[in-house]
Chain A
Amino acid sequence: MSVIARGLTREYGGVNVVDGIDLEIKAGECFALLGPNGAGKTTTLRMLLGLTPPSAGEITVLGEPIPQRARAMRERAGIVPQFDNLDPDFSVRENLIVYGAYYGAGRRQIEARMDELLRFAELTERADDPIQGLSGGMKRRLTLARALVNDPELLALDEPSTGLDPQARQHIWERLHALRRRGKTLLLTTHYMEEAERLCDRAAIIDHGRIVACDSPRGLIEAHIEPHVVELRGDLALQWKDVALAGFRVEPVGETVLIYGQEREALLREIDALIGPGYLYRPASLEDVFLRLTGRELRD
Chain B
Amino acid sequence: MAVIDHLRTAPRLSFRFIAVWLRNLKVWRKLMLPSLLGNFGEPVLYLIALGYGLGQFVGEIDGMRYMVFLASGIVCSAAMTGATFEALYSAFTRLTTQQTWAAMLAAPMNVDDVVLGEIAWAATKALINASAIVLVASVLGLVAGPQALLVLPVILLAGFAFAGLAMIITAISPSYDFFLYYFTLVMTPMLLLSGVFFPLSGLPDAVALGAQFLPLAHVVMLVRPLMTGGVVEMPLLHLAVVAGYAAASYWIAAALARKRLVR
Chain A residues within 8 Å of B, Cβ to Cβ: 49, 51-53, 71-72, 74-75, 79, 81, 83, 85-90, 94, 98-99, 101-104, 147
Contacts and interface: CB of A to CB of B under 8 A. Distances in A.
B107 A99 contact: yes
A89 B27 contact: yes
Contact of B26 (A86, A88, A94): A94
B98 interface: yes
Interface string B92-116: 0000001110111111111000000
The 4 closest A-B pairs by CB, nearest first: A102-B107, A85-B99, A79-B106, A85-B103
Given A53-B1, A94-B26, A104-B16, A99 B103 contact: yes
A147 B107 CA distance: 9
Contacts, number: 59
Interface in B75-104: 98-100, 102-104
22 contacts: A51-B262, A71-B108, A72-B108, A74-B107, A79-B107, A83-B99, A85-B99, A85-B100, A85-B102, A86-B103, A87-B23, A87-B98, A89-B27, A90-B27, A98-B22, A98-B23, A98-B26, A99-B103, A101-B22, A102-B107, A102-B108, A102-B109
A18 to B, nearest CB: 13
Given A102-B19, A102-B107, A103-B107, A87 B100 contact: yes
Interface string B227-263: 0000000000000000000000000000000000011
Contact of B106 (A81, A88, A104): A81
Contacts of B104: 102
Contacts of B98: 85, 87-88
Nearest to B104: A102
B8 interface: no
B19 A81 contact: no
A52 B262 CA distance: 6
Nearest to B103: A85
Contact of B262 (A53, A71, A98): A53
A74 B16 CA distance: 14
B151 to A, nearest CB: 31
Given A101-B23, A102-B19, A102-B107, 18 more contacts: A51-B106, A53-B262, A71-B108, A74-B106, A79-B106, A79-B107, A81-B103, A85-B102, A87-B98, A87-B103, A89-B27, A89-B30, A98-B26, A102-B104, A102-B109, A103-B108, A104-B108, A147-B106
A101 B19 contact: yes
Interface string B3-39: 0000000000000100100110011001000000000
A49 B106 contact: yes
Contacts of A89: 27, 30
A86 B104 CA distance: 10
Given A52-B262, A94-B26, A101-B22, A74 B100 contact: no
A74 B108 contact: yes
A90 B94 CA distance: 13
A193 to B, nearest CB: 26
A147 B103 CA distance: 10
A163 B23 CA distance: 29
A52 B107 CA distance: 14
A81 B262 contact: no
A87 B109 CA distance: 16
Contacts of B263: 52
Interface in B143-167: none
Contacts of B262: 51-53
Contacts of A102: 16, 19, 103-104, 107-109
A81 B23 CA distance: 20
Nearest to B105: A51
